[in-house]
Amino acid sequence: MDLAWVNLKHWLVGLAPAAAQPWFASLITVAALIGAFASLFAVTTLLERKGLGRMQNRYGPNRVGPFGLLQPIADGVKSLTKEDIVPRSADAVVHFLAPMVLVVPVFLALAVLPVGRNMAAVDLDAGVLFFFAVGAATELAVFMAGWSSRNKYSMLGAMRALAQMISYELPLILSAVTVIMAVGSLSTTEIVRAQSGYWGILPQWHVLTPWGFAGFILFMIAAAAESNRSPFDLPEGESEIIAGYYIEYSGFKFALFFLGEYIGMFAISGLGITLFLGGWTAPLSFLTWIPSWIWFFGKLLALICVFIWVRGTLPRLRMDQLMNFAWKFMLPLALINIVITGLWRFMPPGLMRWAVCAVLVVGPYVLLGQGLFRGNKFGPRTYRFADS
Amino acid sequence: MTPLAGYLLLSALLFAIGLGGALARRNAIIVLIGIELMLNAANLNFIAFWRYGPNPEALTGILFVLFSIGIAAAEAAVGLAIIIAVYRHYRTTNLDRITSLKG
Amino acid sequence: MSAGFYVIAILIVGSAVAAMSLRNLVHCALSLAVTFAGLALAYLQLQAQFVGFAQVLVYVGAVAILIVFAILLTRGGDSEKEAILSPGWVWGLGIAALVFVVAGGAVVSSKLLPTVQRATPAATVKQIGDQLMTQYILPLEVIGLLLTAALIGAVIIAMRETEGGQ
C-alpha cells in the first residue's frame, strides 16, 4: 500500500514504447504532482473560507453543494469566465508575464519534496538550495506585477511585499541551515532518512530537540511571512491597500496569482515538514503500517489548518512592526539557534545537553522579548462615549 | 567546434556585449548592468574550463566562481549605494552631467 | 554541440543585447534577470548544479532586485526624450567589437585547448564543502569579512544625511 503510487507509475511507464519511457515517466510524475497539489488547492480554498467563517461565528459558503462542497468549482468557473481587463497605460508584456513568472517557480519548488517513501519527484544533491533558489525567483514576479500596473497602490504594495520577503528570507534560510548542519546533507530524501529512527515509540524528528523546536517555530513564522499570509499580509490586505500588487489583475490572471500564493504556502509547509517534522515518517513507532504519503499529506493538512487558524486569530502587523520583528528579533534568535545546534552536535547525549540547549533557547528569547518590547507600556484602557 | 570552444565563444560574446553597453550608454545604472554581464561572462568561462579542462576533481573552477558570485553581489551593493548617493546630490544619473571634477 | 547549448546561447545573447539596448530601465533590469536565468541553465548544462542554484539565489534573487530598487529610487523612467547613447558611443561599440574579435579569434585558432572528451566530473555538495573548509578556508573567511564591510559601507553611503538638515 505504501508503494501503491510508485507501482502504478511503473506499470503506466511500462505501457509506453521503450524509446519514450524516460519522457513518459517524467510526464507522469509532473502530471501527478500538479494534479495532487491543484486538488489540494481547491480543498484548501473551501477549508479556509469555511474555517474562517466558523471562527468569525458565521457559516462559510454553504449554497453551492451539500455544505458548500462544490464551491471551488463555482470559483473556478467564475475566474475563467471573468473579463480580462488590462489597463491602457499598463506595460502589456510585463503585465502578461508576471503571473507566469510567479506560478512556474512555485511548481518547480514542489519537485524536491519527498511526498512519500521513494516518492520525491527529483532527488537532487542540493535539494534544499534548489528550493530556496526558486523561492527567490518568485520575488521578481511580485515586483513585475506591481510595477507593470502603473498604479501607485500597486507599486507601494509590491515594494512592501518585496521588502518583507527579502527580510524574512534570512531567518528562513538560517533556521534551515541548522537542520542541514545536523544532518550533513542538502538532499531532502537524506534529511528525511536521518529522521526515520525511533527512540522507543517516539520518533527522532528534529522538532523534538530544543534547537529543532526553536528552528521549527522560526521557520513557520518566516514561512507565513514569505507567502504573504496573515498576520503578515499587509502588502495585500484588503482593508489597507485595496489588494496590493494584484489590484489591476482580473479573471484568470488573478486566479493564477491566487494559485501561486497557495501553492507557495504548500511548498514551504512541505519543506518545513521535511526538515523538522520527519517528512513521511509516522509519529509513533507502532503506526508505520499507515502509508507514508498519507502521513505527509496529513501533516501538510495540519499545517494548513494552523495557518488558517492563525489568520483568523491574529491582527495584521504594521510594516515597521514587521521589519523590526524580522531584523531585531528573529535574526538574532536564528543565529543563536545555529550555535545551539553546534553545541547539541558535539555534546555527549544525555540530560546535560538537553538542559544546556533548552536554557540557551529559552534564555535569549525571553531576554530579547523583554529588551525589545519594554518601551510599549500600556495603561489601563479608558473609554470615551459620544454622549459625554 | 568542440563544446569548450563553443562556451568560450559565448563567454567572449557576452563580455563584449557587456563592455559595449558599459561604454556606450549614458545612465550609470546601465553601466553597472554591463559590469555585471562582464563578471558573469568570466564566471561562465571558469565553469567551462572546469568541465572540459584537465583535473576537474580539484573543483577549482567551481570554488572560484562561488567566490566571484559573492564578490559581485557585494560590488553591486556598494556600486548602487554610490549611485544613489550621487543621485541625491546631482539629481541625475546621467553620467555626462556629472562633470564637476572635469579639468 | 547539442541543441540545448544553442537554445541557451540564443537566450543568453538575446537577453543581454536587450538589457544593453532598451530604453526603459526597468525593462533592461528584467532582461538582465533573464540573462542570469539563462546562465544558470548553462551552468546546469555544464553539470555544475551547486553553482547554478547559487547563481539563481544570489543573482536573480538579490542582485536583480537590488538593481530594480536602485532604478526606482533614482527615478530611472523619467527621462523619455533624452538620448540614451553617450557621445562617442561609436568608439565604445568599436572597442567592444575589437575585444570580441581578438578573444574569439584566440579561442578558435588556439591549439592549446584540450580536445579529449571527459566523463562528467562529480561535484557533490560534500566535496565542495570539504574543499571550502580545508583548502579554501582563508578565502572563505576573507569573503565573510568583505561582505560585512560591503554591507556596512553600502548602508552608510546610501543613508540619508543627518536629520537636522531635512
Based on the fold, state whether residues A136 and A266 are members of the same structural domain: yes
Q: Do A159 and C72 touch (CB under 8 A)?
A: yes
Is A156 touching C (CB cutoff 8 A)? no
What's the average model confidence in pLDDT over C132-158?
92
Based on the fold, state whether residues A28 and A168 are members of the same structural domain: no
Q: Please name the amino acid found at residue A42.
A: A
Supply C113's cell numbers.
585547448
Based on the fold, state whether residues A62 and A145 are members of the same structural domain: no
Q: Do B70 and C58 touch (CB under 8 A)?
A: yes
Contact A161, A142 (CB under 8 A): yes
Phi, psi of B83 (to 5 degrees): -60, -40
- State the Cα–Cα distance between residues A133 and A105, nearest whole angstrom: 9
B32: number of Cβ within 10 Å: 22
Based on the fold, state whether residues A62 and A130 are members of the same structural domain: no
Whether the predicted pLDDT of C14 surpasses 90: yes
Whether the predicted pLDDT of A382 surpasses 90: no
Q: Is the model more confident about A272 or about A84?
A: A272
Contact A322, A32 (CB under 8 A): no
Supply A133's cell numbers.
533558489
Q: What are the residue ranges spanned by the domains of chain B? A: 3-90
Residues of chain B with pLDDT under 70: 103
To the nearest whole angstrom, how far is the Cα of C5 from the nearest Cα of chain B? 9
Task: Give the lowest-confidence range in A66-80, A168-182, C67-81, C82-96.
Answer: C67-81
Based on the fold, state whether residues A237 and A95 are members of the same structural domain: yes
Q: What is the DSSP string of A20-40?
A: GHHHHHHHHHHHHHHHHHHHH
**pLDDT score for A218:** 94
Whether the predicted pLDDT of A386 surpasses 80: no
Q: Do C65 and A125 touch (CB under 8 A)?
A: no
pLDDT band at A7 (very low <50, low <70, confident <90, very high): confident
The CA distances from residue A193 to A29, A57, A189, A316, in Å, are: 22, 43, 6, 38
**pLDDT score for C164:** 40
Based on the fold, state whether residues A24 and A149 are members of the same structural domain: no
In a domain, A28, yes or no: yes
For C125, the closest of A139, A140, A186 (CB atoms) is A186
Q: What is the mean pLDDT of chain A?
A: 86
Based on the fold, state whether residues A107 and A243 are members of the same structural domain: yes
In a domain, A376, yes or no: no
Whether the predicted pLDDT of C81 surpasses 90: no
Whether the predicted pLDDT of A379 surpasses 70: no
Q: What is the DSSP string of A308-343?
A: HHHHHHSPPPPHHHHHHIIIIIIHHHHHHHHHHHHH
Q: Do chains A and C touch (3 or more CB pairs under 8 A)?
A: yes
For C63, the closest of B16, B56, B73 (CB atoms) is B73
In a domain, A379, yes or no: no
Based on the fold, state whether residues A193 and A248 are members of the same structural domain: yes
Is C25 touching B (CB cutoff 8 A)? yes
**pLDDT score for B101:** 75
Based on the fold, state whether residues A133 and A39 are members of the same structural domain: no
Based on the fold, state whether residues A65 and A102 are members of the same structural domain: no
For C50, the closest of A94, A129, A139 (CB atoms) is A129
What's the average model confidence in pLDDT over C124-141?
90
For A124, the closest of C49, C54, C65 (CB atoms) is C49
Q: Is the model more confident about C161 or about A115?
A: A115
Report the complex ipTM.
0.91
Domain range for A321? 86-371
In a domain, A1, yes or no: no
pLDDT band at C76 (very low <50, low <70, confident <90, very high): low
In a domain, A385, yes or no: no
**pLDDT score for C165:** 38
DSSP H or E run through A203: strand A202-203
**pLDDT score for A357:** 86
* pTM listed for this prediction: 0.90
Is A335 touching C (CB cutoff 8 A)? no
Based on the fold, state whether residues A211 and A194 are members of the same structural domain: yes
**pLDDT score for C57:** 94
User: For residue A198, what are the β-bridge partners?
Assistant: A203
**pLDDT score for A285:** 80
In a domain, A236, yes or no: yes
A25-51: pLDDT as tens digits: 888 889 999 999 999 999 999 999 999
Is A170 touching C (CB cutoff 8 A)? no
Query: Where are the strands (E) in chain A, listed by range?
Result: 198-199, 202-203
Determine the residue among C34, C41, C56, C63 to mutate to test chain A binding: the one whose Cβ has the most chain A Cβ atoms within 10 Å: C56
Q: What is the mean pLDDT of chain C?
A: 87
The CA distances from residue A249 to A84, A138, A162, A238, A270, in Å, are: 8, 17, 18, 14, 28
Query: Within the 15-54 window of chain B, which residues sit less than 8 Å (CB to CB) from chain C?
Result: 15-27, 29-30, 32-34, 36-37, 40, 43-44, 47-48, 50-54
In a domain, A377, yes or no: no
Calculate what percentage of chain A has a pLDDT beyond 70. 96
For C63, the closest of B30, B36, B96 (CB atoms) is B36
Do you find a cis peptide bond into A231, omega within 30 degrees of 0? yes
**pLDDT score for A378:** 63
3-state secondary structure of C132: helix
Quick one: DSSP state of residue C164? G
Task: Match 538593481 to its residue by C-alpha cell.
Answer: C67
What's the average model confidence in pLDDT over A358-373?
83
Q: How many domains does chain A have?
A: 2
Chains within contact range of chain C (3+ C-beta pairs < 8 Å): A, B
Q: Do C46 and B47 touch (CB under 8 A)?
A: yes
What's the average model confidence in pLDDT over A191-203?
85
Determine the residue among C22, C27, C36, C57 to mutate to test chain A binding: the one whose Cβ has the most chain A Cβ atoms within 10 Å: C57
Contact A232, A322 (CB under 8 A): yes
Q: What is the CATH number of domain B3-90?
A: 1.10.287.3510
**pLDDT score for B12:** 96
